[in-house]
Amino acid sequence: MPFDYAPAPESRAIVDIKASYGLFIGGEFTDATDGTPFKTISPSSEEVLAEVSEAGPSDVDRAVKAARRAYTGVWGRLAPAERGKYLYRIARIVQERARELAVLESLDNGKPIRESRDVDVPTAAAHFFYYAGWADKLDYAGLGPAPRPLGVAGQIIPWNFPLLMLSWKIAPALAAGNTVVLKPAETTPLTALLFAEICQQADLPPGVVNIVTGAGETGRALVEHPDVDKVAFTGSTEVGKAIARAIAGTPKKATLELGGKAANIVFDDAPIDQAVEGIVNGIFFNQGHVCCAGSRLLVQENVYDEVLDSLRRRLGTLRLGDPLDKNTDIGAINSAAQLARIRELSDVGESEGAQRWSPPCELPEHGFWFPPTLFTGAGQSSRIAQEEIFGPVLTVLTFRTPEEAVAKANNTPYGLSAGVWTEKGSRILWMAGRLRAGVVWANTFNRFDPTSPFGGYKESGFGREGGRQGLAAYLTRGGPGA
């Protein structure tokens, strides 16, 4: 039996959520001129948190113009070390306001406070610290002497890690000397708007960072704006393809960080208890709303029963509920639309003949919830083994030999990440060389560090974020006469 825990709710008093928010353009909050405001809600309670402006094409145009003015003006003239100081300042303020950011993220997104507090916000601050250090060392980025910024970057992010994805986008862009217009996802705009306040607090020159809120149409206006030099997108493969089509034939540069269907591969010599923790972290962290989630478990056949028994026992101890409770392991699904998609694909899994299992789990009455779920007996070509579910749903497959594990792991249109659990170092290297995935974790999963590049193969996109490689996406090669 799992322990009973007394409720340990984090206070939301630290956050001052305004009734309504404008757009952040040229260093100021301003009303939208041509959009219809929309509401952002808490997915765990369906409570309306705030009304947010929708930026129409003329608002996007104002934001891009503000970014251009800053680029050709004050930001472009600033010495690189001075740019770095602004990034350090932002990093420090993110740390100082960490609790506020974490509570706001959990309210708007539905993720457990333990994750927003211990992963999202500290890793976001770490990205600003890391790229602050690069601002005056760009000659060593591997792009020749004196590489140059690209100009104005249009950046579009998803709802699963709102503040963290913002930091992955804004920190390298600014360190390299660009200015940005960023659009957060429509269901999670609040931490980006708090970040706008942080930019004001840091005295960042007006127009260096602009935040426009809205849904797909706002994103499209940003992508298609003729004065945007670079599009950086994280989101679904479907929208990524639409963006690639929209900018084809233009001089715009692009990085696309898209979906995934990662294999988490457990060999019979793996430490099983540790592997089970890694499997749980791989797919149930952030309710499985993770592009690199280990959503396909590949278990070597001779340890299948042992792994599955242990996994089922462990899932029985996960606590689902209030995201602001510090004991919560699994929070709310981000939106009604995402919940409908998870339900639909899970039903398809059953109708295709796979067996579905969840631990006994009481779901709260209000809000959007889905229990941790396992599917066994699924065919390799079934939709739950091929499509990204983006929820707390794990599809379990088996293999006998390392060759078979590699063939099955690579049998997907995606190629973002993979995990390998084995005691043998030589096998880890053998597997890593053959897995078509941008990141391969060994005896761990979902580890992030700003120094390490992250990105995909195949339909998971192109370009890398993080590390020295992440700078290349915001710079053009320098050299004599550049």
- Positions touching ligand NAD (CB under 6 A) are 156-160, 183, 185-186, 215-216, 219-220, 223, 234-236, 239, 242-243, 257-260, 291, 388, 390, 416, 456, 460-461
Give me the least distance between CB of 365 and ligand NAD, in Å please: 26
Q: Which amino acid is at 297?
A: L
Return the number of the residue (84 or 235) whose C-beta is nearest ligand NAD.
Answer: 235
Report residue 98 as tokens.
């960490």
Contact indicator for 109, 368 with CB cutoff of 8 Å:
no
Query: What is the rounded CA–CA span in Å between residue 451 and residue 83?
Result: 19
Kind and range of the H or E run holding 373: strand 373-376
Give me the least distance between CB of 453 and ligand NAD, in Å please: 11
Please give the distance of CA 366 from its chain centroid, rounded to a whole number.
Answer: 26
Return the number of the residue (300 or 334) whose C-beta is nearest ligand NAD.
Answer: 334
Residue 164 — φ and ψ, nearest 5°? Answer: -65, -45
Return the number of the residue (86 or 168) whose C-beta is nearest ligand NAD.
Answer: 168
Q: Which residue has the tokens 């506020």?
A: 100
Give me the least distance between CB of 170 and ligand NAD, in Å please: 15
Select from 181, 432, 175, 400 the least CA-distant residue to 304: 400
How buried is residue 447: exposed, middle or buried, by Cβ count under 10 Å (0-12/13-18/19+)?
Answer: exposed
Q: Which amino acid is at 41?
A: I
Query: What is the rounded CA–CA span in Å between residue 162 and residue 451?
Result: 20
Catalytic residue among 115, 186, 257, 388: 257
Return the number of the residue (220 or 408) whose C-beta is nearest ligand NAD.
Answer: 220
Please give the distance of CA 129 from its chain centroid, rounded to a whole number.
Answer: 19
3-class DSSP state of 374: strand
Query: What is the rounded CA–CA span in Å between residue 308 and residue 294?
Result: 15
Return the number of the residue (177 or 184) whose C-beta is nearest ligand NAD.
Answer: 184
| Residue with nearest beta carbon to ligand NAD | 219
C-alpha torsion sign, points 174, 178, 181, 187: negative
Query: What is the rounded CA–CA span in Å between residue 286 and residue 164?
Result: 13
Give me the least distance between CB of 259 and ligand NAD, in Å please: 3
Give me the least distance between CB of 97 and ligand NAD, in Å please: 23
Nearest 10 degrees: Cα torsion 390, 162, 448, 10? -100
3-class DSSP state of 77: helix
Return the number of the residue (229 or 388) whose C-beta is nearest ligand NAD.
Answer: 388
Query: What is the rounded CA–CA span in Å between residue 211 and residue 222?
Result: 11
Give me the least distance between CB of 328 and ligand NAD, in Å please: 22
Return the number of the residue (178 or 213) whose C-beta is nearest ligand NAD.
Answer: 213
Return the number of the residue (83 or 458) whose C-beta is nearest ligand NAD.
Answer: 458
Catalytic residue among 105, 291, 387, 388: 291
Residue 257 among the catalytic residues: yes
CA distances from 155 to 1, 16, 128, 336, 433 (A): 47, 26, 16, 25, 32
DSSP state of 277: H
Give me the least distance between CB of 287 and ligand NAD, in Å please: 12
Residue 292 among the catalytic residues: no
DSSP state of 450: T
Give me the least distance between CB of 367 and ligand NAD, in Å please: 18
Query: What is the rounded CA–CA span in Å between residue 279 and residue 306?
Result: 14
**Residues acting as catalytic residues:** 257, 291
